[in-house]
Amino acid sequence: MRGLPCSNSTSLFNFYIPVAEYLDKSPIQFGQISSIQSSSTPLSQDVTLPSLSLPENPLLSSPQPVSLPFPISHGTTTLAFIFQGGLLAAADTRSSCAGYVEGPAAQKILPIHSHMVSTTSGTSADCALWKRILSRELRLYQLRHGRRLSTSGAAKLLSHMLHPFKGTELCVAAILCGWDGEKIEKSVDPSLEKTQSSFSSVGGQQHLAREKRKGSGPCMFYVCSDGTRLQGNLFSVGSGSPYAISVLDQGVKWELTLDEATSIAREAVYRATHRDAYSGNHVDIYHISSKGWIRRSREDLKEEYYREKERRERGMTQIVTLSEET
């Protein structure tokens, strides 16, 4: 682990940066310090580095956890799953605090880059801050290396940055949904395996090359503020997740079409908002594929209520008709 120049300060933003080649094969330069400055050579007193520490604050410098003036209750419903058409992420839009509904139109799915979005659950300010930090680091990585960092690398990076805050009042629970681009590498194969190689002519000479496909397709990780990092094909996070997961377990399949997956995600959020008072209002749905993410139009959950009502009435009509015929 490498520290920042302000490692002796009391700032909470002294991240533990993973060593080189830990997140990916190429080292990541985070932009805070250069490789020369991070070496063991002591700096002269004439050189002044920009301080990244926050102003002195007894709340920040105190080693003991600071109690909040009132208890904060977190309420939300977020979900994401993988199907044959890519990834689908959905969330409600109600923002609550300590039993009060603060806003009906919060955005709980935040784009990270062109092929990645993140659902957010927890404290709104913390989620927005760490989304910006992660977006910045991924953009810097792309500019330095000419390619996007994989979803696995992004989840590992976020997990390492959040781990030092374990045990504090920080509350962030995110589902990273991304599509990793296809990378093809060619290497000489001395074993002459015909099933895994192809001939190519370079300068009149025959060379045996083998193509390797790495990290292509949808990928999804759950990252929590205590450093937890889990990979899976289906996640639901928030106070309404127990109700949403029951719908997802029953309906999510690999063979789903985009319309069917959207309908299941919408119904799962609707079921959660029907039982959970801290979730409700609207539903946001994002579809992530090889072409990037697409945000579907925000829909009021009362429309799903009317559709459910029509289905029940139609079912009752069919039952009455069958009973009359018999």
Residue range 90-120, pLDDT digits in tens: 999 998 877 778 888 899 999 999 999 999 9
Which residue stretches of the chain are H helix? 58-61, 124-145, 151-162, 241-251, 258-275, 301-325
| Residue 294 clears pLDDT 90, i.e. is over it | yes
- Confidence at residue 277, expressed as pLDDT on a 0 to 100 scale: 83
Rounded CA gap, 265 and 278, in Å? Answer: 18
Cα-Cα-Cα-Cα dihedral of 147, 148, 149, 151, to 10°? -150
Q: Which residues are catalytic?
A: 76
Q: Tell me how far CA of residue 205 lies from CA of 92, 136, 189, 196, 208, in angstroms.
A: 61, 46, 15, 20, 10
- CA 96 and chain centroid, separation: 21
| Residue 169 clears pLDDT 90, i.e. is over it | no
Give the model's confidence band at 257: pLDDT under 50 very low, under 70 low, under 90 confident, else very high: very high
Cα-Cα-Cα-Cα dihedral of 111, 113, 114, 116, to 10°? -70
| Residue 223 clears pLDDT 70, i.e. is over it | yes
| Residue 309 clears pLDDT 90, i.e. is over it | no
Rounded CA gap, 91 and 304, in Å? Answer: 14
- How confident is the model over 144-169, as a mean pLDDT? 91
Which pTM value belongs to this model?
Answer: 0.68
Top pLDDT among 318 and 284 is at 284
Mean of the per-residue pLDDT values of the chain: 75
Top pLDDT among 245 and 102 is at 245
Q: What is the pLDDT of residues 32-54, one digit of tens each?
A: 333 343 444 443 444 344 444 44
| Residue 245 clears pLDDT 50, i.e. is over it | yes
